[in-house]
Amino acid sequence: MACAAIELKNITKRFGSKVVANHNVSLSVYKGEILSLLGENGSGKTTLMNMISGIYYPDEGQIFIDGEEVVIRSPKDAFKYKIGMIHQHFKLIDVFSAAQNIVLGLEEEGKFDIKSVTQRVKEISSMYGFDIDPNKKIYEMSVSEKQTVEIIKVLYRGADILILDEPTAVLTPQETQKLFAVLRKMRDSGKAIIIITHKLHEVLSLSDKVAVLRKGEYIGTVNTAETSESELTEMMVGKKISLNINRTEPKDPEDRLEVKNLNCVSADGVKLLDNVSFTARSGEILGIAGIAGSGQRELLESIAGLQVIESGSIIYHNPKTGTEDELRGRSPIQIRELGVRLSFVPEDRLGMGLVGNMDIIDNMMLRSYRKGHSMFLEKKGPKDLAERIIKDLEVVTPSAQTPVRKLSGGNVQKVLVGREIAASPTVLMAAYPVRGLDINSSYAIYNLLNQQKERGVAVIFVGEDLDVLIELCDRILVISSGKVSGIVEGRGADKGEIGLMMTGANGGANGND
């Protein structure tokens, strides 16, 4: 039997004295094989791959390439052994062109000539069927184009071992299929591929073998053909968890928020929202599906009063007074006082909503400091609230005085959502609240949203995982390039249909609601 293209033996990596990111991990990949590395968030997948690509250095253990022990101390060493990593967060320089990014850090013989680089990039593109303009600047590119640049980058360096860190997280179903086709082509040409993911159906459809990590421990490797979704889930989380998300029937839904012909234009004159209309009802979860950057953010920000609205109106049916209030033109604070709450979770989790360097109590206070009666801050209320959230939502933290940035992603999100819920909103907007969370934390968030729904809150949930949207939401609004391409019932919705609507392939034929 031939030697493994790459083999890891008993790898251990610690951060500081307490955190063990990887403990005694062993795995191997052969040429012409795709290995999925499966694990929950924080299970150490990325750390492990970073050690192969030279970003980190293992504390213990050995790495073998083609049967020979190697030492990878830097990314340069990794290139030497023909290892190429496509990171989850793209490692590209925004102001450089694709070609400049591709040759970055390369030490080739001869004069530096960007024209010959461009030529070579075009050759690689046509070989694997990529569609890319080598002279286009990265900041002008879509996410999928950036990923293509990353892949060409490692191929340009002649990589034989490719590592992809959650490559499909940002792609549409169609783009994902295209990527998988490319990966299969590479496998067939004899490359060894490792793909990090936590989407089980991708694991099953793409890979030959699956290696599972759990909390930094290596659980085992199985052949994809001989395993099943439930077995893998069990290996991954350690116990069987229900894949079913609870969904109750909406109780006496009434119109709560009515968005009519909303238009927003960016500073450069690009249409961000194009004639968007929909109604959110109480006691119901309205999902918003769309490719990242299709206007979801602008839509929520418009409702929260953070976005300049070009034309259109947002009518709030106030359950207390029974009046219809126009939200457009009101300040964010006025809108919040009406009970419309935005729990916006952007990519970096701490960007909006929470202040990383402040502790949980102070972050609670961000919402209440105006309510004090004296010139001194009132700490009692926020402290009780912080402690209640920690207890009720099972936030894992040393204390309420711990700076938020030191918590893990899931716990940060629980704190954020918990605070917004505590104000008993009538409209709760959550954007990507489970992004980057492991399964258990995700379910905790779904339960929170469901509780709010049962209390009669109109929940607007922007999500990226279509399976979750279909299982969680009562109705799903699909948005494509700022336009509503349709609203579908969550029960019995077809994933393929929504995927097509997201790309605008149905031409918005369903029109507006």
Asked if 112 interacts with another protein (CB under 8 A), we say yes
Among 33, 35, 79, 170, binds another protein (CB under 8 A): 79
Q: From 431, 474, 402, 249, select the one nearest 341 (Cα to Cα).
A: 431
Pick 119 or 126: Cβ nearer another protein: 119
Pick 13 or 256: Cβ nearer another protein: 13
Asked if 93 interacts with another protein (CB under 8 A), we say yes
| Dihedral sign of CA atoms 270, 276, 280, 285 in order | negative
Cβ at position 188, least distance to another protein in Å: 28
Pick 113 or 254: Cβ nearer another protein: 113
Cβ at position 76, least distance to another protein in Å: 4
367's tokens: 């919402």
Pick 42 or 305: Cβ nearer another protein: 42
Cβ at position 139, least distance to another protein in Å: 5
How distant, in Å, are the alpha carbons of 10, 64, 102, 449, 509 from that of 26? 5, 11, 31, 39, 52
Pick 96 or 128: Cβ nearer another protein: 96
Residue 467 · residue 333 · CB < 8 Å:
no
Residue 342 · residue 334 · CB < 8 Å:
no
Binding mask 126-165 for another protein (x = CB under 8 A): -----------x-x--------------------------
Considering only residues 58 through 77, tell me which ones interact with another protein, judged by CB under 8 A.
74-76
Q: From 76, 36, 343, 339, select the one nearest 204 (Cα to Cα).
A: 36
Residue 201 · residue 177 · CB < 8 Å:
no
3-class secondary structure, 61: strand
Q: From 152, 49, 175, select the one nearest 464 (Cα to Cα).
A: 175
How distant, in Å, are the alpha carbons of 129, 348, 401 from that of 383? 57, 25, 9
Cβ at position 207, least distance to another protein in Å: 24
Asked if 369 interacts with another protein (CB under 8 A), we say no
Asked if 122 interacts with another protein (CB under 8 A), we say no
Asked if 267 interacts with another protein (CB under 8 A), we say yes
Among 49, 56, 273, 300, binds another protein (CB under 8 A): 56
**Amino acid at the residue 298:** E
185's tokens: 């082509």
Binding site for another protein (CB under 8 A): 15, 53, 55-56, 74-76, 78-79, 85, 87, 91-96, 100, 103-108, 112, 137, 139, 267
